[in-house]
Amino acid sequence: MIRGDQNRLFAAYQNSAFKAAKCVDPDFTIAGVNATIRDTNWAKNLMLQGAKNSCDIVELHLYSSAWNGFPGDRVSRGVKEALGTADWGKPIWNTECQGCASGNCDRPLEPQIGLLYHSIPWVNKFDYNADADRQMRFIISNLANGMKRIYLYSARMGRFQMCIMQPAPVLALEQTDGFPSPQLVAHSALARRIDGRIFREVFEVAPNIWCYLFESQEGTTAVVIPRRFTKSVTIPCALKKVSASDLYGNPLPLPLQSGNTLRYIEASVNAQTMKRALQKNR
């Protein structure tokens, strides 16, 4: 346990650990700093202690139970609060996090049972669509705010028999019975559409509906995210060869209806061409 001048001692311990690890293998990747929003001065003071020079990666822990997916959302604010405005000059990883209804800032009202109805002795009222939607919004916002890696944190507390009947406050991609939840399907759909693509920009494609563009040489994925309680509108796209899909990767007809959950539009064009095609009829 670090006592006394915690920032100075932490920076010294981190520096010692960094040097020792690099002596064993110079190719080791060492993460440090461990910023959180619980102490908004922690990272700033470590910067003053030179901690950025004794790590390869700057890590933070950032949870959110909010409906993210727009500029200035909880993730955007949290990254700034945790890391400050200084240029760390290192990749940023969110090494402990999640953003669904079971985040540590909120406890879901119902056990996260997903699709099960007949094998549980109570009426399943858990909104697994909202649960999956929140998690994907969180991931997209993390990527848009500079995260190079995102490690979702999941744990089922207590005895299994009790946990399956009670909401779990720290759970991601799985149900309280340990089986994959619909979140995992949504995560797979997201990964297939943006993995290997670089975040380019976010813009408002319609009032209170935001579009995040991810681009690679093969094309662009537009992630369409409506603010909560926003009325569904038509999102025209002027491209001829284009496809759309829902939160779980199921195909959707065009023109796209924004709906109330995250959706995707994909085409083999660059990000600027996609943006112009989505803004043409505004």
pLDDT in tens, 207-258: 999 999 999 999 999 999 999 999 999 999 999 999 999 999 999 999 999 9
Per-residue pLDDT of 75-104, as tens digits, reads 999 999 999 888 899 999 999 998 975 444
The pTM of this model reads 0.92
| 209-216, strands of its sheet edge to edge | 198-206, 209-216, 219-226, 263-267, 243-245, 251-252
The rounded distance, in Å, linking the Cα atoms of 161 and 169 is 16
pLDDT reading at 156 higher than 80: no
Computed over every residue of the chain, the mean pLDDT equals: 89
How far, in Å, CA of 57 to CA of 93, rounded?
7
* Cα–Cα dist 155/158, whole Å: 10
For residue range 1-10, what is the model confidence (pLDDT) as tens digits? 455 578 889 9
> pLDDT tens, 35-83?
999 888 899 999 999 999 999 999 999 988 889 999 999 999 999 999 9
